[in-house]
Amino acid sequence: MAVERRPETDHPLAVDRRTMLRGAALAAGGVLLGGVLGVSAAGPASASATPKVYTRADWKARAPKGGIQVLATGPTHIVVHHTATGNVSDTSTSHAAALSRSIQSYHMDSNGWSDTGQQLTISRGGHIMEGRDRSLQAIRDGKHVLGAHTANHNSHTIGIENEGTYTSTTPPGALMSALVDTCSWLCLVYRLDPQEAIVGHRDYNATSCPGDKLYSMLPQLRDDVGSRLREQLIHLSRQAGRELTLEELPSYPAVPSSERIATFYHGPAIGDLDTSL
């Protein structure tokens, strides 16, 4: 593992490595953490935790040929790949959908796999697409769909295929931005430390994937994801009225200190989005 390490920050909201490495044990809480972070959507745009992910229905995926295995324990690492396809200029969602279909066909018909190998795909236009069947729901549940993208490490890694070939050119900004969004989301759901969790395919297998250029950008990706996580913790801490660490983030919205105590009162029952009393 050629993963660069850097000193721990002493910021009070720093993501604690020991805490985050317990991702598996905390995976169940990670699901609900996503719900809590949904509240933060009203804050800074960067605090939005769940990126837009196009589903398999959106890109008209074929049904998988075999059963999809969903593991109860979330992944410990996020593997960055490149698709080794052309560095196209088409940034449309229709192109991203066509890419997903072509990858699925290749994996099923040429490789003989049951379905798309990776769990997520990002196009050069920055569109994030669900890969293997049930991946999106598994992530939401803090679970893990067993994929086929990194030999001997599929049980504990989630794979992101980034469209293009990055041996000698760098990915477009839209793709890198979506990759930061995606990795931040996954680190929050699974409570992973980006400095440890984000790796390139070549860290595990003998391959040039994800290309020298994209591989050289992984330290910056880890830093960008770490910054995003700290922003979100700060935002949630403001909402909670005190400093939170990732470990103590509630698995449900924080109880307000000013909540009144009264007979029959058991918390908010009707909100602005409800249409009837």
Contact (CB, 8 A) for 78 and 114: no
Pairing between β-strand 144-145 and β-strand 70-71 as defined by DSSP bridges: antiparallel
Q: Which stretch binds Zn ion (CB under 5 A): 40-48, 207-215, 250-258, 265-273?
A: 207-215
- Whether the CB-CB separation of 93 and 55 falls below 8 Å is answered with no
DSSP-derived 3-state class of residue 70: strand
77 binding Zn ion? (CB under 5 A): no
Q: How many CB atoms lie within 10 A of CB 271?
A: 6
Binding part of the chain for Zn ion, among 97-105, 167-175, 193-201, 218-226 by CB under 5 A, reads 193-201
Q: Which stretch binds Zn ion (CB under 5 A): 73-81, 230-238, 244-252, 258-266?
A: 73-81
* Cα–Cα dist 251/90, whole Å: 41
Number of other residues whose CB lies within 10 A of the CB of residue 111 = 10
Q: Which stretch binds Zn ion (CB under 5 A): 5-13, 111-119, 127-135, 199-207?
A: 199-207
Q: Pick from 209, 217, 229, 233: which binds Zn ion (CB under 5 A)?
A: 209
CB of 216 to Zn ion, least distance (A): 16
Q: State yes or no: residue 202 binds Zn ion (CB under 5 A).
A: no
Sole binder of Zn ion in the list 27, 74, 77, 81 (CB under 5 A):
81
198 touches Zn ion (CB under 5 A) = no
Size of the site for Zn ion (CB under 5 A): 3
- 249 contacts 236 by C-beta, under 8 angstroms: yes
Residue ranges binding Zn ion (CB under 5 A): 81, 201, 209
